[in-house]
Each structure stands twice: as C-alpha cells, then as structure tokens.
Structure 1
Amino acid sequence: MKKNLLLGIMCLYVGISGCADKRKYHDTIKSEIASDNSEMVKEILLFQKELNEEFKNPETSPLPDRYRKDFEGLDFFQPDTSFRVIGSLERTADPIPFMMPTTTDRLSEEVVFGVVNFSIKGENYSLEVYQNLELKETEGYEDYLFLPFLDNTNGEETYTGGRYLDLAIPEGNSIILDFNRAYNPYCAYNKKYSCPIVPKRNNLDTKIKAGVKSFKPKSNK
C-alpha cells in the first residue's frame, strides 16, 4: 500500500498534521478492471480483505483502540456486479476552485473535474467528481479523483453522511464506477477526523446496496 495518501486533505486528524498513515486505498485504482464476472467478484473480495487488514492494523486503522481491539471485520454488502457500471465523463472546461466544507472548520480546496453520467438497473443518474488541488500536486496522485455520494441507504444500512469512491482520470471519456468499493469516511469511525461533506448535488435517489455498510462496534451489535 502507498503511504502518506491524501496528506491530511481527505481525512485530516484534528489536532495533528494528518491521518495516522493517511491511507485511503487509492492504490487499488486500476486503469483496467476485469470484465469477467468471477474475476470482478474476486477483486471485490480482495478489496474487502485489504480494507479489513488496514482496520485491524494499529498503524493504519482509524478505529479508536477501544473498538479496534475487538474488531473482527467491517460489514459489507454482498458483491453485486450490477453496481459496477461504465459511465460517461463530461469534463469541466476551465473549472473554478471552490472550498468544500468538512465535518470540522477545515475547508478543502477542490474543483469540479467533471460530471459522470451512468445508469444502474435501467435508471439514469449523474454525479460530480472532484479533484483536490493540493493532492493534484502530490507525486503519484496527479490523476486522483474523488467521488463522494449519498443514497437512500444512508442512515439505515449505511453511514448517514454518505460514502466515497476513489477514481483515476481515464484516458478517454469512459470511466468505471464500482460501488462495491464504496467506503466510509474516517469520521464514521472516529470523530477526531475531519472529512469532506458530500454535496447535496451528489444525492442518488436509489439504494446503492454495495460497498461498506455502517459501522457497529462489536459491543453494540
């Protein structure tokens, strides 16, 4: 796994310069993802395994020690390849920087890199994708895109504040959205983290039953 991801931009730990290891799974982004259904399921399960390993590791886990010591694994929806879709990316011409609010007083400087149009189970949707201006200057993450979203599972099966997807700038105008890789912001586990708030523009009026579910500490299950 690559280290020093996001440099405190996407998951800043309040009171210090950045997250414990600032890991956010960006190195799982691939320019080409398997098209065979069985291979896609294997990749999803590998993503889940690696995420659980990071949460168990005290060096990379966002969990407070009281939760991490009894941590057995995150709750995930079952892999569902119908939530892996190919979208059409409309890039923003001359995007204007703006300050994205976070769960603290911190602001994150972003641009709307573009809008992704896609369909899930016959219904059409669109989401904005963002590029962080500080991260853009970080070696190895020049092509990183951030896609936060809300959906109708929030507050029930998934975290109230929505979830995130990591993407990479594609060579053309087609981009893969695999919602099986949707993960919670760190502040879903520890309020000492500062996380970007999902813009209301990115609210999907459907249930995305894929990816990470809401976190329930073992003692509360």
Structure 2
Amino acid sequence: MKRCLIVLCMVYAASGAFSQNTYADSLTAERQKHEKEFLSTVLNEEERKIHPEICFFPINTAFIVEADFVKEVGPAFVMPMTKERTVYYRKMGTLSFKINDTLCTLNVYQNLDLAGRKEYKNYYFVPFKDGTTAISTYGAGKYLDCYFSKKAKKVKLDFNTSYHPYCAYSDRYSCPIVPKENTIPVSIAAGECYVQHD
C-alpha cells in the first residue's frame, strides 16, 4: 500500500510539473506572438528603434490568484484618458484577493462601446497600479483583461498576462488612466515590465 502511495505521489508530482511546463510554454508562445504583432502593427519605425522588444517578467504561477467577485454595477462615466477622447465605462463590481497574505481589492470595469458586441459579452477591464509602478513597470500602470460570467462568485486572475497600454510605447495613442482606487499595496512582478529608453 505504501509503495502504491509513493508511486501515486510521483505521478501527481510529474503531472503537476507537466501542467506548469505546458502553461509556461503556452504563455511564452503567446508572448512571442504578441510581441511580433505589436512591434509590426502598433509601433511605427521610429518607435521600434526606441522599443525594439517587449520586456516580460519571468512567468510566476504565484501571481495566478482566485479572487472573490462582488457585483456592484455603477452608472456610466467618462473614463479619464491620456489624450482627449470620450469613452464611457461603468463599474461592474470588485475583485478581492490575497498576494503574500496581503488583501488587495480592484474595481472591475466594462467598456460600454464594447458591451453590446457578442464577442465581448463576458469581457471586463481591470487597470491597476502596484509596487512595481514607475520602477520596473510603466508609471501610468498596467491592464488586465478578464473574462467571466456576471453571475460568477470566484474569478481567476492571471497577472502573468497583464500588459502595458500602448501609451507606454507611443504618445500617438490615447489610453485609459488607472483610477486611484485601483492601486494595490503589493508588488506584482508579473506580465510586461518596462525598460526606460533615452
């Protein structure tokens, strides 16, 4: 019996390692695809000279967390942008989770221009600032895309997929400014990082 248990433990351990490797390989491939498309379609030639690549933190599954979602639909409002542009959002609720035993809360928003499109039915926007902001990530913060049902009580957040706005690389774009209340008291060294260029 003990021998069977040891074998089973070894199988589970191997399967967990395989799962993590599969996740890392998959995300690495997605990052490479994103970087190629971003550099070729979003940035122009001059901007590519300044930003020849995208910086990413090492993949860290500790930054995949399960958050409690509390639905709290607010009125439509104009999200502040880096350049004059009118885009309506509404707050959909809050996400609460722990990073290293520190409780964090982030508001979840819905872009009302996208809300009526079928492909964005379960899409929500989570902009945030954290302890890495203006140090190893863009000074204006980062974004996280979430997909979940409005009836959800638990939501998986994968900060390894968090990314910078286009404005981190080019002043030609107008991007949402992270609301003050979406600043969390921890450092999330995951997703895109930022290298300051002259």
TM normalised by structure 2 equals: 0.83
Alignment of 1:45 with 2:25, yes or no, is no
Give matches, 1:16-165, under 5 Å: 36-57=19-40, 60-61=41-42, 63-68=43-48, 72-92=52-72, 94-165=73-144
Letter in 1 for 2:143: Y
Distance in 1, Cα, partners of 2:148 & 2:113? 16
> Out of 154, 168, 190, which is 1:188 matched to?
168
Letter in 2 for 1:185: P
Identical counterparts, % of pairs: 34
Is the partner of 2:35 in helix, strand or coil?
A: helix
Structure 1: gaps (5+ residues):
1-34
The answer to whether the Cα contact below 8 Å between 1:40 and 1:81 also exists between their aligned partners in 2 is no
Distance in 2, Cα, partners of 1:201 & 1:41? 31
Letter in 1 for 2:111: N
RMSD: 1.9
Distance in 1, Cα, partners of 2:130 & 2:93? 20
Highest CA radius of gyration, 1 or 2? 2
Distance in 2, Cα, partners of 1:168 & 1:45? 20
Q: Which residue of 2 aligns with 1:6?
A: none
Q: Which residue of 1 aligns with 2:154?
A: 174
TM normalised by structure 1 equals: 0.75
Is the partner of 1:126 in helix, strand or coil?
A: strand
Alignment of 1:213 with 2:196, yes or no, is no
CA displacement at 1:91 relative to structure 2: 0.8
Is the partner of 1:164 in helix, strand or coil?
A: strand
Structure 2: gaps (5+ residues):
1-17
| 1:83-127 deviation line (CA, Å, top 9, x unaligned) | 0111111111x4311111100122321111110011112211110
Q: Which residue of 2 aligns with 1:5?
A: none
Distance in 2, Cα, partners of 1:144 & 1:104? 24
CA displacement at 1:64 relative to structure 2: 2.8
Question: Structure 2 vs 1, CA of residues 80 and 185 (structure 1 numbering), >3 Å: closer, same or farther?
Answer: same
Number of aligned residue pairs: 180
Letter in 2 for 1:179: F
| 1:2-39 deviation line (CA, Å, top 9, x unaligned) | xxxxxxxxxxxxxxxxxxxxxxxxxxxxxxxxx93223
Letter in 1 for 2:145: D
Letter in 1 for 2:126: L
Letter in 2 for 1:165: L
Structure 1: which 4+ aligned runs deviate by more than 4 Å? 69-72
Q: Which residue of 1 aligns with 2:6?
A: none
The answer to whether the Cα contact below 8 Å between 2:74 and 2:90 also exists between their aligned partners in 1 is yes
| 1:69-93 deviation line (CA, Å, top 9, x unaligned) | 686421111001100111111111x
Letter in 2 for 1:48: R
Distance in 2, Cα, partners of 1:144 & 1:103? 22
Is the partner of 1:112 in helix, strand or coil?
A: strand
